[in-house]
Each structure stands twice: as structure tokens, then as C-alpha cells.
Structure 1
Amino acid sequence: MIIIPSFLISILTFPGVIVHEIAHQIFCRLMRVPVYEVKYFQLTNPCGYVSHEPSDKPLKVFLISIGPFLVNTILGAIFTLPATIEFFQFRNSTSLINIFLGWIGISILMHAFPSTGDAKVMINSILKNDEVSVIVKILILPVIGIIYIGSWGSVVWLDLVYAVAIATLFSTIVVNML
């Protein structure tokens, strides 16, 4: 197994970090939650963040937390589409524009998983909130578990496996529809 420091991965995949933070910011705006500060990319830990007003509304907290998963997955799949179609259909990956789009797309997809910080916000705002129903807590618990698995899985390249799987699956679906 190849171990590469996480800050180096973040530098190589910085478009994904930027899109991840933009997604948080977009969902804050959609949920009408004030944003105090945004750092789209930096060379320190964390590589990016969105500082916003806390919310006591479980749906708002949930959507702001998983917003990057939705946005990064959709955008990453779209960006990788030309490269994966070219590669799988024609066994040719020499087009520079498609190599560039593939890198952007894979970078974005690799940063789709919410962070453990996002999971902690959901734990504190939803699971530990006495006003939230038990049903909602039961539904949110597996999502939080998946976030932690995704975070721990990045050590064994689960984020890259996810990126390649989504890129491949999406292009296969599109090609089969044509």
C-alpha cells in the first residue's frame, strides 16, 4: 500500500477541495444560514472550511453537511464523462483536454465524502438534540457511520476507488442510454 501524506493529496486534488467548500457554502445559502468565513483552499489543515452560524434545524444541518457529497458527485461525474467515454469506448486517453477533464473530475469526486467535522456537527445538532425525534436519529445514524467509514477508508484509497467507480458507472449509464 502506498502512503502519501494527506496534504500532498489535497494539493494534487485541490479542485475537489474547492468544490467541496463551495458546496457547503451553497447549501448554507440555500438553507439561509449565515456564512461567516470561507477558505476554499489552504496548505494547512484543514485544507478548506466554511464557518457558518449553527442551526437547530436537523434538515438544515443534514443538507449543509452532505451538500458536498451531492454536488461533488454530480459535478465529478460530469467532468469525467468525456475522458471515461474516450477511454472505455475507444481505448484512447491521449486527448489533453480529456486528461485535464478526467483529473478535474476525479479530484472533485475524491472530495465528495463529508468530513468527520461534518459528522460531528450532525452528532451534536441532531443525535444529541432532545427535540429531534427518535425516527430522524435512527435515519441519520447510518449516514454518520458512512461518513466515518469514508474518512477512515481514505487511508486505503477508498476516496479514489469511489471516484473511479462513479466515473465508470456514470459513463457506462450514459453510453448505454445512447
Structure 2
Amino acid sequence: MYFIPGFLISAVTFPGVIVHELAHQIFCRLMKVPVYEVKYFQLSNPCGYVMHEPVDNPLKSFFISIGPFLINTILGMFIMLPASIEIFEFKNNHSFLNLFLAWIGISILMHAFPSKGDAKSMIESILKNKEVSIVVKILVTPVIGLIYIGAYGSIIWLDLIYAMAISVLLPKILVQIF
């Protein structure tokens, strides 16, 4: 596989970066955690961020961290659905609208994985928190592991593989059901 700089991939898939950061901000608002600063997209590292008040509640930290996975997956899936039915059924008459929807949907799905920073935040607020029960720690540990796999997996295009899997498999399942 070829190495393409992360900022170049983020530039091409910038809608996903924007939705990812917006998802963090939405979950901060839902959890009533004050947000200090938001950068939805920039051509530097990091490509986007949400700075918020430190979170002392483990549940709030969990949802703020995994918010992008939930929102990017659901939104990307619904945006991609009409396009993927046409494109992946291998029809030769691809409309510009469906190709545009495919780009937006795949971009959003590619940025569904929480970052290493999100995993570190969960480690600090949940795993290292003496007030959190061992049961919660046991349940959250695999989620943190999956976040790291997703974050490091982008080196081998795991984010694109995830986006394509959601884009191809979901329509096939829905077509079979209906």
C-alpha cells in the first residue's frame, strides 16, 4: 500500500472531519459540558478539535468520546444509502448527485472512529478513576481497545474499509429485507 499523508486524506474527506468534530460538540452540549473552542477543519495537525471543560463524570466522558462513531456512522450510512444502491448494483448510469452523495457519505464514514486522544480521555476518566466500578471498567476496556485499533488501523486504510463495508453491506441487507 502507498503512504498518503493524513492531512491530504483529511483534505479530500473534509466533510467527515467536520461531522466528527460537530459530533463531539453535540455530545458535549447533550452532556452539559461547556465547550471553549471548536475547530471544525484546518489543514494542519490536528485537522479539527473540540476543547471542552474537563469531564469528571465517566458516563459523560464515554459519550463525548464515542459520539463521532455514533453520529458519523448513522449520518454517513443514510447519506450513502441511495447512492450505494445505484453505484454498487453496478448500473452504468451513475448520476452526479449519487456520486456526490457517495463522496460525502464515504468521507463521513471514514471519520467515524474516535481518536487516540478520545481513548486517552476514557482511560483517565474511567479506567484510572477509583470511583468507577470494576464492572464498568471491564465493559469499557474493549471499547477503548477498539478505538486504538481504529486509530492505528487508518495506517492500513481500516477507516476506508469500514466506510466501504457500511456502504456496500448495509444496502444489500436492506434490499434483502425489503
* TM-score in terms of structure 1 length: 0.97
Do 1:83 and 1:93's aligned partners in 2 also have CA atoms closer than 8 Å? no
Identity of aligned residues (%): 71
Residue 156 of structure 1 corresponds to 156
Q: Distance in 1 between matches of 2:56 and 2:132?
A: 10
Q: What amino acid does structure 1 have at the position aligned with 2:4?
A: I
Say whether residues 1:141 and 2:141 are aligned partners: yes
Q: Distance in 1 between matches of 2:93 and 2:121?
A: 41
Q: Return the offset for 1:173.
A: 2.3
- Say which SS state the counterpart of residue 88 (structure 2) adopts: helix
Residue 56 of structure 2 corresponds to 56
Q: Distance in 2 between matches of 1:93 and 1:154?
A: 32
- Say which SS state the counterpart of residue 36 (structure 1) adopts: strand
Residue 12 of structure 2 corresponds to 12
Do 2:77 and 2:105's aligned partners in 1 also have CA atoms closer than 8 Å? yes
Moved more, 83-92 or 18-27: 83-92
Say whether residues 1:128 and 2:125 are aligned partners: no
Q: Distance in 1 between matches of 2:89 and 2:10?
A: 30
Do 2:86 and 2:94's aligned partners in 1 also have CA atoms closer than 8 Å? no
The CA RMSD measured in Å over matched residues stands at 1.0
Question: Where do 1:157-176 residues align within 5 Å?
Answer: 157-176=157-176
Residue 46 of structure 1 corresponds to 46
Q: What amino acid does structure 2 have at the position aligned with 1:41?
A: F
Cα distance per residue 1:33-80 (max 9 Å; x no partner): 111110000111100000011111111000000000000000111111
Q: Distance in 1 between matches of 2:134 and 2:172?
A: 39
Aligned residue pairs, count: 178
Cα distance per residue 1:139-166 (max 9 Å; x no partner): 1111111111111110010000000001
- Say which SS state the counterpart of residue 23 (structure 1) adopts: helix
Q: Distance in 2 between matches of 1:76 and 1:168?
A: 12
Residue 96 of structure 2 corresponds to 96
Moved more, 6-15 or 53-62: 53-62
Q: What amino acid does structure 2 have at the position aligned with 1:96?
A: F
Q: Distance in 1 between matches of 2:90 and 2:146?
A: 35
Do 1:34 and 1:53's aligned partners in 2 also have CA atoms closer than 8 Å? yes
Unaligned 5+ residue runs, structure 1? none
Q: Distance in 2 between matches of 1:177 and 1:82?
A: 16
* TM-score in terms of structure 2 length: 0.97
Do 2:28 and 2:34's aligned partners in 1 also have CA atoms closer than 8 Å? yes
Q: Distance in 1 between matches of 2:93 and 2:116?
A: 35
